[in-house]
């Protein structure tokens, strides 16, 4: 400020002094006065031009620098420039933080939608786009309620009680492949809302399966239990002869056996689900497993049919399998047991172990029984799924055998295949990968 005053007064003084010395003495005073006033106007004009340049620079908002040198306008320009740079840096930093934040929301496994106070979509992540079928270019700033017209959501939105979520079908939901979404609105800021969506299809399916499973187990146990209780009551109430007593006790033993088999299979399944995968270093000799199953199959056949069926066991290469011996035994016996139970006494059963070209091997159990209609095949490994309910029960089936087989096969990296022609018979095969099969060592061969 001092410099401005000095320069203003200085310029006027210099102009006045020059006029004083350059003109006639008679006109000196007036000329010096006029020169000083003129110099003052010149100074003001020059100052106004500098001020205008700064103002124009600010108006244009250009990033190029304006050179105003030193002085008040120069300093003002300098300070404004610095202020602008600081602001620009803050904006860039803020933008970067916003992008980081949005990237984090984008990475969320749940759908995220940001709604403004009017319920219009300000932003959504990719998962939300998939859940509701939104398009980033088309649907931004659209009213969420106009795009998602599910009645359950509309009621939830209008009630404005956001203390809980609402469950609605997803965009791709069909009756064959339902998709269920849990949607929860969380109000924040001034009337804005954060909408979170979660795909709960798998959770709901697991819950439904759990409910079905409990209902099935209860039903399976209740039936023999009711029969047992009936016999106990009869034995208590009636003075029966020895023959009747023995017959009733035999029937009771049968029901008890049925419950025992069911509990054993349930325990096997829960052990399979809870235990670590079978080791790839424990080698089980396949011929020993086949031999044990052959003996048991013949026993079961005699028990069920009064005489052993025509059961043939064949193996084209003595191999060892990496895995769990009890699990492999239960797989083979379940398949062979089913063949024995469902194949009439006069028909034949063939169990084969074959090495495959790529180093793997296949175990197949082929029967000439009733066969299974194609529509049942995909569901056979479901727990408690039975094609022939009474045949299964009469022969001591639990409805869990193939579920166990599939589980064990998966744990050994193997695949269960089922081919069947109604009226002709069925083939159940388990294909083991090369990594779990090896030719039998000479030493082991001698001991089998």
Residues in contact with ligand ADP by the rule CB under 6 A: 338-339, 342, 367, 369-370, 372, 380, 385-388, 392, 397-403, 426
Distance CA(274)–CA(214), nearest Å, equals 18
User: 278 or 370: whose CB is closer to ligand ADP?
Assistant: 370
CA-based R_g, the chain, Å: 45
Shortest distance, position 393 Cβ to ligand ADP, whole Å: 8
Least distance (Å) from ligand ADP to the CB of residue 297? 12
Answer whether 341's CB lies under 8 Å from 395's CB. yes
Q: Which residues, other chains included, contact 10 with Cβ-Cβ below 8 Å and sequence gap of 6+?
A: none
In the complex, minimum distance from the CB of residue 224 to ligand ADP, in angstroms, rounded to a whole number: 14
Instruction: Return the number of the residue (92 or 345) whose C-beta is nearest ligand ADP.
Output: 345
Measured from the CB atom, the residue of 125 and 364 that comes closer to ligand ADP is 364
Nearest distance, CB of residue 372 and ligand ADP, angstroms: 5
What order do you get walking across the sheet with 121-124 strand by strand?
Answer: 121-124, 111-115, 192-199, 180-188, 166-169
* Least distance CB 407 / ligand ADP (angstroms): 11
**Closest CB to ligand ADP among residues 421, 445:** 421
Compute the distance between CA of residue 403 and CA of residue 363 in angstroms, rounded to an integer. 17
β-sheet with 437-439: strand ranges across: 283-285, 319-322, 437-439
Of 189 and 374, the one with the shorter C-beta distance to ligand ADP is: 374
Nearer to ligand ADP by Cβ, of 184 and 386: the residue is 386
Minimal distance, residue 310 CB to ligand ADP, in Å: 15
Measured from the CB of residue 243, what is the shortest distance to ligand ADP in angstroms? 32
Separation between Cα atoms, residue 331 and residue 308, nearest integer Å: 21
Instruction: In whole angstroms, give the CA distance from residue 283 to residue 382.
Output: 30
Backbone angles phi, psi at 99, to 5 degrees: -65, -40
Closer residue to ligand ADP, CB minimum distance, 178 or 422? 422
In the complex with ligand ADP, the residue whose CB is nearer, 125 or 334, is: 334
Kindly tell me which of 125 and 338 has the beta carbon lying closer to ligand ADP.
338
Q: Which is nearer to ligand ADP, 245 or 376 (CB)?
A: 376
- CB of residue 324 to ligand ADP, shortest distance in Å: 20
Q: Please report how close the Cβ of residue 350 comes to ligand ADP at its closest, in angstroms.
A: 12
CB of 429 to ligand ADP, least distance (A): 12
Strands 348-355 and 361-367: antiparallel
CA distance 186 to 297: 63
Nearer to ligand ADP, 285 or 401 (CB): 401
Q: How far is the CB of 326 from ligand ADP (least distance, A)?
A: 18
């Amino acid at each position: 400020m001092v410099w401005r005053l000095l320069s203003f007064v200085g310029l006027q003084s210099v102009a006045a002094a020059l006029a004083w010395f350059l003109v006639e003495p008679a006109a000196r005073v007036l000329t010096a006065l006029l020169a000083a006033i003129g110099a003052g106007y010149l100074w003001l004009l020059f100052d106004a031009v500098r001020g205008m340049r700064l103002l124009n620079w600010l108006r244009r908002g250009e990033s190029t620098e304006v050179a105003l040198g030193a002085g008040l306008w120069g300093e003002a320009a300098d300070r404004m420039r610095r202020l602008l740079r600081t602001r620009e840096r803050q904006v860039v930093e803020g933008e970067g933080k916003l992008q980081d934040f949005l990237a984090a929301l984008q990475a969320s496994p749940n759908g995220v939608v940001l709604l403004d106070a009017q319920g219009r979509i300000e932003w959504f992540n990719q998962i939300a786009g998939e859940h509701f079928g939104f398009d980033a270019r088309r649907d931004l700033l659209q009213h969420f309620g106009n795009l998602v017209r599910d009645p359950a959501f509309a009621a939830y939105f209008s009630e404005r009680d956001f203390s809980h979520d609402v469950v609605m079908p997803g965009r791709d939901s069909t009756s064959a492949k339902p998709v269920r979404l849990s949607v929860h609105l969380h109000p924040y800021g001034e009337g804005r809302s954060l909408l979170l969506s979660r795909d709960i299809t798998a959770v709901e399916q697991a819950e439904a399966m759990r409910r079905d499973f409990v209902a099935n187990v209860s039903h399976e146990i209740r039936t023999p239990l009711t029969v047992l209780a009936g016999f106990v009551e009869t034995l208590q109430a009636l003075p029966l002869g020895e023959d009747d007593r023995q017959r009733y006790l035999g029937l009771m033993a049968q029901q008890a056996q049925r419950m025992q088999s069911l509990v054993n299979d349930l325990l096997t399944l829960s052990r399979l689900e809870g235990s670590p995968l079978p080791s790839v270093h424990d080698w089980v000799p396949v011929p020993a497993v086949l031999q044990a199953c052959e003996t048991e199959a013949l026993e079961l056949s005699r028990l069920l049919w009064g005489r052993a069926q025509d059961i043939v066991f064949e193996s084209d290469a003595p191999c060892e399998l990496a895995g769990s011996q009890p699990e492999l035994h239960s797989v083979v016996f379940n398949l062979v047991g089913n063949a024995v139970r469902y194949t009439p006494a006069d028909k034949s059963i063939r169990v084969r172990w074959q090495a495959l070209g790529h180093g793997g091997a296949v175990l197949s159990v082929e029967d000439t029984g009733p066969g299974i209609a194609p529509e049942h095949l995909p569901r056979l490994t479901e727990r408690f799924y039975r094609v022939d309910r009474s045949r299964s029960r009469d022969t001591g089936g639990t409805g869990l055998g193939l579920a166990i087989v599939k589980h064990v096969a998966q744990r050994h990296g193997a695949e269960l295949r089922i081919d069947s022609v109604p009226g002709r018979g069925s083939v159940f095969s388990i294909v083991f990968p090369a990594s779990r099969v090896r030719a039998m060592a000479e030493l082991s061969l001698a001991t089998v």
